Amino acid sequence: MRAALALTAIGALLLVAEGALVSFLPALLLPDVALVGAVAAALFLDGPASLVVLAGLGFASDLLTGAPLGLHALSLLLPFAATRVANGSLELRHGVPEAVLVALVTPLAALAAVACMHLVGVRAGLGLAFWLGLALQTAVNAAVAPGACALAEGVASFTGDLDPTRRGVAYMGAAPWAASRR
């Protein structure tokens, strides 16, 4: 759980820093820290700890962006679940798979956010600008994903909270053909 708290604190600080940077850089060029952080946590921490990171970063995003409190946390649940499911059957803990995973879940999170906003009566158009912005945001998120995942892995290793159910290790041990290879 220490890793979860540390990652939440780091993520919150990055969100604050982004708030200052956005005065000089277009918002779409800055990564979605909450999403990338939640995915990284889902990959490297156990279930409850990664949910703590998701909730912490989600609510922090809401406080800093003026979104209805809880919107980011709710919309991040979908990519979080997708990551946990995918991580259960695929080896995703490498640079390229991490980037691809984040690229795939970024539109999921965006569409979930749109759905949540419609629920509370906030209009959010799905026009060309939305899709172009989403494409750019997806690319930025994917680019920073390996770095974020490395950070999450480093913190989890340091605190001893690295998820032991690492798919690759478990699979090699359990596979019928693994014994012959050994």
Partner 1 sequence: MRELLHRLRLPLLFAGLAVIASISIFADQRALQAGGRDLSWWSGGLLEVAAPIQRVLTAPIDLVRGVWRNYVALLDAREENETLRHQLAEAQEETLQLREALVASQTLEQVAELRSQLELPMLATEVVGQDVSPWFRTVVLDRGRDHGLRAGMPIVTENGVVGLVTATTPHASRAMLILDRQSAVDGMVQRSRVRGIVRGTGAPEVDFEFTGPVEEVKPGDLVITSGYGGVYPKGIRIGEVVSVAQEAPYLVRRAKLRPAVSFERLERVFALLWRSPTLELLSGDTPAPPVLAAKPDEKATP
Binding site for partner 1 (CB under 8 A): 12-13, 15-24, 27-28, 30, 32, 47-48, 51, 54-55, 58, 60-71, 73-74, 77, 80-81, 84, 113, 116-117, 119-125, 129, 133, 137
Minimum distance, C-beta of residue 173 to partner 1, in the bound complex (Å):
21
- Cα–Cα distance measured from residue 160 to residue 89, given in angstroms and rounded to the nearest whole number: 23
Cβ closest to partner 1, residue 73 vs residue 155 = 73
Cβ closest to partner 1, residue 64 vs residue 162 = 64
Tell me whether residue 143 is exposed, middle or buried, using C-beta atoms within 10 angstroms of its C-beta: 0 to 12, 13 to 18, 19 or more.
middle
Cβ closest to partner 1, residue 11 vs residue 175 = 11
Minimum distance, C-beta of residue 181 to partner 1, in the bound complex (Å):
31
Cβ closest to partner 1, residue 125 vs residue 176 = 125
Cβ closest to partner 1, residue 164 vs residue 176 = 164
Instruction: Return the closest-CA partner of residue 76 out of 42, 46, 113, 50.
Output: 113
Which pair of structure tokens corresponds to residue 70? 């809880």
- Cα–Cα distance measured from residue 168 to residue 52, given in angstroms and rounded to the nearest whole number: 24
The three-state secondary structure class of 37 is helix
Cα Rg for the chain, rounded, in angstroms?
17
- Cα–Cα distance measured from residue 133 to residue 153, given in angstroms and rounded to the nearest whole number: 29
Which pair of structure tokens corresponds to residue 20? 């200052």
Minimum distance, C-beta of residue 17 to partner 1, in the bound complex (Å):
6
Minimum distance, C-beta of residue 130 to partner 1, in the bound complex (Å):
8
Minimum distance, C-beta of residue 46 to partner 1, in the bound complex (Å):
8
